[in-house]
Structure 1
C-alpha cells in the first residue's frame, strides 16, 4: 500500500484541480460560441475509469455539469466495446447522463503507459443543434425529437482522427454550422491539454501514488459530508416549490422535496412531486441529483467536490414524477430552469433543519432567451442569453444583486459583446427597481434587461419561470418580486401566452424585448434592520423615501 503524507495529498490535489482549471481555460479561449467563451456555460473534469465517478472538477466550471458528467462518462463506459488512446466520444443525449440537448459532452479515455487511468470530460452549451426553434428552447415542444439532434455516445475521434461523417451530421443539423466545427476543436483541444498535464503529474509522482491520493480525497469528502449531516437534527423536513407551468398547460408543477436525516445519512425524496409533464420542463435523473448536491453545497461549501460527497446521500426519484423523465419527454427547460427550482426546494427543506445556514429565496430563473435570424450580410445568427437575479438575504448580510444563478451558470455576456455580435441595441441594463425583498437583511436586486431588435426579421423564444411565485422571505422577511418578461411588437406591449414561456415570436426592426428578473427575499424582521443600512440604501437609490418610511419606519 502506498504511504501518503499530508503534504503529498495537498500538492497532488492542487495539481489535479489545476489540470481541470487549465482544461476550462483552453476551452473558454478557443470556443467559437460566445455562450461558452464569454458566458462560461461549460465545465471540465476528471473521472474514474471504473464507473465514471467524479475525481475532480474545475473551479470555474458549472457545478451542475460536473455532477451530471459522471453519469455521461458511465454511459460511455457501458456502451463502448473498446477504447483506445486518442479516442474521444461525443454525446448530448439528456437521457444518457445529460441535461438538455444543447449541452454537448466530450469524453476522452486517458491512458498512462498503456493502462487506462481515468476519463477526461467536458461540457459546453452549443447555441443550436436544430429543433423547432432557433436555440432549442421550444416552449411548446411536446417530445424530445422537437428539441434538436440527439446523439448517444458515439466515437468522434478514433486514435485522434476526426470522424468527418459525424461532423457532417452535426453541421447539417445546426443553424450555425461553422460554430459547430469551432466548438468541436475547442472541446477536443481542452481534453488533450488535460491529457498532457495529467501525464506530467503521473511522470512525477507515479500512478500508484496519484491513485492513492484520489482514493484518500474521496474518503475525506465522504467523511466530511457525513460529519456535517450529523450536525443536522434527525427528522424529516419538507418544502414545496411551484413552477409556473410546463409551457403547454397553464398549471403549476410541484417539486416536493422531503429530506430525512438519520445520523450521518441523508435521504432526499421527490416521489410526491408532479407527474411527467407534456411540455419541456421535465428533468432527467442526473440533473435532479446534481441540482440537489449543488443545494447541499450551498450549505457546506468547503467540502472538496468529488464522488465522496454523494456517498452518504440517498435519492428517491421514481420515473412517475417529472424529475426523472424518460424518452420521449421534452427536457429543454431541465438544465437552467427546473434544476434551479430543485435547488430552492432542497434549500427550503433544509431551512427547517438548519435555519442559520440557509438564506431567503433567490432568483431561480435565467430567462433563457434565444433569437434566430439572418444579418444584413446574409449570415445566420442565433442569440442565446441568460440572466442573473437577486440572491436572498441571509443571516450574515444582504443578498447579492444581479448574482449568477443558483446552479452557478457563469456570467452574462457584456452589452458590448452582444451589440457587436447580434442585431440589437440596448435601451437599459441595470438593477430592477423595487425587486428586492425587505427584512433585517434585504434581498439582492434583480435586473432590468431591455433592448431593441434591429434586423429585418427574427424568431424569438423564451423559456423562463418564477413569474407566478416570488422568491420567499425567511425568518420574518418579505418575498422578492417575481420575474416579469414582456415584448413590444409593432409598438404594442405583448404578454407571453404562458406568462414566462413562449416561442417563435416574430420580431421586426424596432420591436423591443424586456426581461425583468426576480429579486431575492428578505431575511429577518424589517424592524430589526440597521437604520444606517436603510440610510445607505436611500443614498444609493435602492430605496425611495416613501418605501423607507412605510417598510422600515425610517425618517430622514
Structure 2
C-alpha cells in the first residue's frame, strides 16, 4: 500500500458494490437523455454527460461521461452553493457560464441537489451540448468571437430553473425568444431535467438502502481508495520533468499565427504525484478559443489519466494526485471577462490533452500514447437553414457523421471514428438514414481512407471522409478546425498521421480547399467534403507484426505500397488484386 494512506477499514466488497451502483445510476440518467432528447447532437451523437457529486461537491460517479464535460462538474457544484447557499429539495439550477465552472455557453448544465432525511447528500448533474445557444451566428463553436458580447450566447450563471419541482417559466421564455429552434431546445431541456430527476430518485433509494451515515462513510472511503490507486500508479513511473509544445492552427484574420501551447509535466513517484503546469502560455486572445478553468483542468487531468492504469476510478479521489497549475487571464487557464470561451471543449482542449499524453511517451517505450485526431471537420459541423419539406421552417443542428482516428498506445492500435480526445471516443456517429429524415440533408458518402493512419508498431486509427450537401434550399455550414497544417504526431519512432482538410465541391465538379475557420453557404447541387485526420503511430513501423500488416491491407486500412515502403512487409496479391499472403523471404530482406 502506498505510504501515508492507512486502510479505512471499509469492507472492500461493499465499497465495490456501492461504487458500481453509483455508475449504474449515472447510466440510468444517460439512458434517459438518449431516449428523450430532441436534437440529434444530444440524443443520437451522445454529446452530453451525466455525473454525481457528493455533498462536498467531489466527483464520485461519471460512468461513461465525456471527460471534457464531467471532469469539471465539481466546480459547478461549488458554484451552486456559492450562488444559492439555501438550496432546497425540489430545486434545479441551470448553468452554462464558463466563468462559473461550466465549459462553454453551449453546454447547458442542470444541477439537482439530492436530499435524504432533510440532509443534502448528493447533486445530480446533466450537461447537454445544445444544437443552438443563441449565438450571434448559427454555431455553438464561434471561434471568431472577439468577446462574449460578440459571441452573443444566452448565459445563465447558475440560475434557478425549478423550485418545488416546478419550472421557472421566465427562464424558459427567455430561451424560446432567442434560440433559433425553440421547441427543439425546450425538448432537450425537459430531457435533461428528467435525467437529473431520475438520478435524484435512484440516489434516494441508494441512501434508503444503506443509510445516510453509511453513505457518507462510503464516499470518504471511495475517494480515499481512488487516491491510493492513483498514487500507486504514479509511483510506478520514472521520475521526470517533461516539456512539450502543441499547436492550434492559424485561423483566418482573427488568429493569423494560431496559438502555440507549452505543457510542462513533473512526475514525482516519491511523492506519488503528477503536476501539469500550463501557466507559461499566452494571455487570453481576442477570439473564442480561450479555455475555461473546467476544460483546462479537465483535459490536463485526462492526458495524465489516459497514461495510467486503465481501470482507475474516475473521480475526485484519483484527481487529487494530479495537480494542474493555471493562471488567470491565460488562453489555457482562467479566462478574464469578457474574453470568449466559445470553443472551450475542443481545439485547445484537444491540444492540451494530446500534448500531455504524448509527452508521457518520452519516459520510454511502453509509456504514454500518440496524438489522436484533433480535426473537428465539417462532418461534425453545424448546419442551418430553412427546411423546404416543412414550409421552410428554420433548422439548426450539429452533425456527428464521422470522426478521425484515435491514438495508438504501446500495445494497441488506435480506434476508428474516434472524433476527438476531449470526448474519449465516446460520442456516437450519426445514423445517415435518421439524419436525412430529420434534416434537409443528402449524405453522398462516408468512408475510411486507406493509408492515412500514423504508421507504427501499433498504428493510429485511420482518417475518415464524408461528403454531404443540401436538398432544396441553401445550407449554411459552420465549423472551426485544427490539424490542417500538421497531422497528429506519432511517438517512439511512430509516424505522424495525415492532416485533415475541408473541401467545397461546386456544382460543376471543381473543388475549393476551405480554410480552418468555416462559414460556408452551400447551394443545391454543391457538396462539402470533410477529411478528418487519422491518429499518430506508436513505435517503429518496421517492428509491426507482419500478419497485422497483412490484415490491415486486406481490410482496406493500409495500402500495399505503404506496407512495403513503411512497414517493410511484402504483401502478395491474388489474381483479383486482393491481399492473399506475405512474401516471407522478401519481407526478411526488407527488414534486414
Shared topology, TM-score over 0.5? yes
Quick one: distance in 2 between partners of 1:454 and 1:466? 30
Counterpart contact for 1:53–1:74, Cα < 8 Å: no
CA distance in 2, matches of 1:89, 1:437: 44
Matched ranges for 1:46-125 at <5 A: 46-50=52-56, 52-57=57-62, 59-125=63-129
Residue 496 (structure 2) pairs with residue 479 (structure 1): yes
Answering whether residue 299 of structure 2 is matched by residue 291 of structure 1, we say yes
Which residue does the alignment assign to 2:331? 322
Q: Which has the higher mean CA deviation after the structures are superposed, 186-195 or 526-535?
A: 526-535
Match of 1:360 in 2: 370
Unpaired runs of 5+ residues, structure 1, are: none
- Count residues with an aligned counterpart: 550
State the superposition RMSD in angstroms.
1.8
Cα deviations by residue, 1:163-204 (Å, 9 ceiling, x for unpaired) = 111100011110010012111111111111111111111111
Query: SS of the residue aligned with 1:335?
Result: coil
3-state SS in 2 of match to 1:61? coil
> Residue deviations 1:450-490, cap 9 Å, x none?
11221312222111111112111222121110111122245
Q: Does the CA contact (< 8 Å) of 2:329 and 2:336 recur in 1?
A: no
Alignment correspondent of 2:586: none
Q: Runs of 4 or more off by more than 4 Å in structure 1?
A: none
Q: Which digits, 9 at most, give the CA deviation of each residue in 1:253-295, with x for residues without a partner?
A: 1121101122212211112223322222110111111111222
How far has the Cα of 1:542 moved from its partner?
2.8
Q: Which residue of 1 aligns with 2:200?
A: 195
Q: Which residue of structure 2 aligns with residue 310 of structure 1?
A: 319
Contact 2:417 2:429 in 1 (8 A): no
The answer to whether the aligner puts 1:142 opposite 2:158 as a matched pair is: no
State which drifts further: 67-76 or 481-490: 481-490
* Partner of residue 250 from structure 1, selected from 236, 256, 268: 256
Bigger shift: residues 154-163 or 342-351: 342-351
- Aligned pair in 2 of structure 1 residues 394, 11: CA closer, same or farther (>3 Å)? closer
Check if 1:369 corresponds to 2:384.
no
The equivalent residue for 2:289 is 281
The 1-side partners of 2:22 and 2:283 are apart by 41
- What residue number does 1:175 align with? 180
Counterpart residue number, 1:488: 505
The residue that corresponds to 2:588 in the other structure is: none
Q: Give the whole-Å Cα distance in 2 for the aligned partners of 1:465 and 1:530.
A: 32
1:332 aligns with 2:347: no
Contact 1:399 1:520 in 2 (8 A): yes
Distance 2:265 2:563 in 1: 38
* Equivalent in the alignment of 1:520: 535
Matched residue, 2:467: 450
The CA deviation at 1:350 is 1.4
Give the unaligned 5+ runs of structure 2.
Answer: 1-7, 573-592
Would you say 1:535 and 2:535 are equivalent positions? Answer: no
> Which residue number corresponds to residue 581 of structure 2?
none
Segment drifting more, 110-119 vs 240-249: 240-249
Alignment deviations for residues 68-96 of structure 1 (CA, whole Å, 9 cap, x no partner): 21111111111114211100000111111
Q: How far is 1:323 from its partner? A: 0.6
Give the secondary structure class of the aligned counterpart of 2:109. strand
Q: Normalized against structure 1, the TM-score is what?
A: 0.95
Deviates more, 1:279-288 or 1:535-544: 535-544
Residue 382 of structure 1 is aligned with which of 390, 396, 400? 396
How big is each residue's C-alpha offset from its partner over 1:193-227, in whole Å with a ceiling of 9 and x where there is no partner?
11111111111110110111111010011111111
- Alpha-carbon distance between aligned partners in 1 of 2:506 and 2:140, rounded to the nearest angstrom: 22
Task: Tell me the secondary structure at the aligned position of residue 155 of structure 2.
Answer: coil
What's the CA shift for 1:3? 6.9
Deviations 1:418-469 (A, max 9, x none): 1111112112101023311222222220110111221312222111111112
User: Is residue 2:517 matched to residue 1:501?
Assistant: yes
Give the secondary structure class of the aligned counterpart of 1:427: strand
The answer to whether 1:235 aligns with 2:243 is no
- The structural deviation recorded for 1:152 is 0.6
Partner Cα distance (1:369, 1:527) in 2: 37
Change beyond 3 A, Cα 1:493–1:139: farther
Alpha-carbon shift at residue 145 of structure 1 (Å)? 2.4
Residues 52 and 60 in structure 2, CA contact (< 8 A), matched pair in contact too: yes
**Closer, same or farther: CA 178–469 of 1 in aligned 2, 3 Å:** same
Task: Write the distance in 2 (CA, Å) between the matches of 1:486 and 1:136.
Answer: 21
Larger deviation, residues 243-252 vs 307-316: 243-252
Question: Aligned equivalents of 1:523 and 1:44: distance in 2?
Answer: 33
- Cα separation, partners in 2 of 1:92 and 1:489, compared to 1, 3 Å: farther
Is contact 2:354–2:370 with CA below 8 Å preserved after alignment? no
- Does residue 10 of the first structure (1) align with residue 16 of the second (2)? yes
Name the CA distance, whole Å, in 1 between partners of 2:23 and 2:417: 28
Partner of 1:31: 37
Q: 2:505, 2:527 within 8 Å by CA — same for their partners in 1?
A: yes
